[in-house]
Amino acid sequence: MNKQHIIELLTYLSNCYSGKFKFPKPDQRNNQMMIDVWHDLLKYYSEELATKAVKKLVINNSEWPPSVGAVVKEIELIIQPPENRMTAGMAWKLVKDAVRKYGYYKPKEAMESLPPKVRAAVEHFGGFAEICHTKENDSYVKNHFHKLYNEVTRYDEDLQYLPEQFRQELIYISEKTTERK
């Protein structure tokens, strides 16, 4: 995404939120700073993807203009694979379906049929066999699984919405810092 498209995006937001989002700014220095900040965070994405994300945010939140961080997060949500957007309830349904399909005697196949985060929650629960031994409609078991799944999901959340290239840079810096200690 180039700076010209950033200017178009900022102008679009200014027209959508007249009085709440001012672009262009009164002085050139502030204009350039705003363009540079937005470009720095959106340069990893295509113009089409950024525009779609901005339009979605405008439609879903007509009261206040989105920050550049909100736009990045929305873009990352759009491009996430479906299993990363799964709720705890959806994950629980997959586990129950795997119990019905594979049962107690095929735990390996059952675990392989589940997405990675669901698999991790099942492992934290005590394994597939442990879930097979529970009653099907036990609300305690369901709630416990929901908590575990949400913990597994929350663990990745901070990095999940960052652009891939930026995420890799952060991981690299983190690893270098850890090596020094």
Q: What is the CATH number of the domain that holds 69?
A: 1.10.8
Mean pLDDT of 10-39: 92
Q: Report residue 60 as tokens.
A: 């879903």
Same domain, 88 and 139: yes
Q: Report residue 84 as tokens.
A: 């990363």
Residue 100 lies inside a defined structural domain of this protein: yes
Same domain, 13 and 49: yes
Residues 85-96: pLDDT tens digits? Answer: 899 999 999 999
152 closest CA partner among 127, 111, 116: 116
Structurally, the chain folds into a number of domains equal to: 2
Same domain, 36 and 90: no
Please report, for residues 25, 57, 83, 88, 100, the alpha-carbon distance to residue 94 in angstroms, rounded to integers and kept in the order given.
51, 30, 11, 10, 10
User: Residue 24 sits in which domain range?
Assistant: 3-79
Same domain, 69 and 21: yes
Residue 172 lies inside a defined structural domain of this protein: no
Residues 145-176: pLDDT tens digits? Answer: 999 999 998 877 777 778 888 888 888 898 88
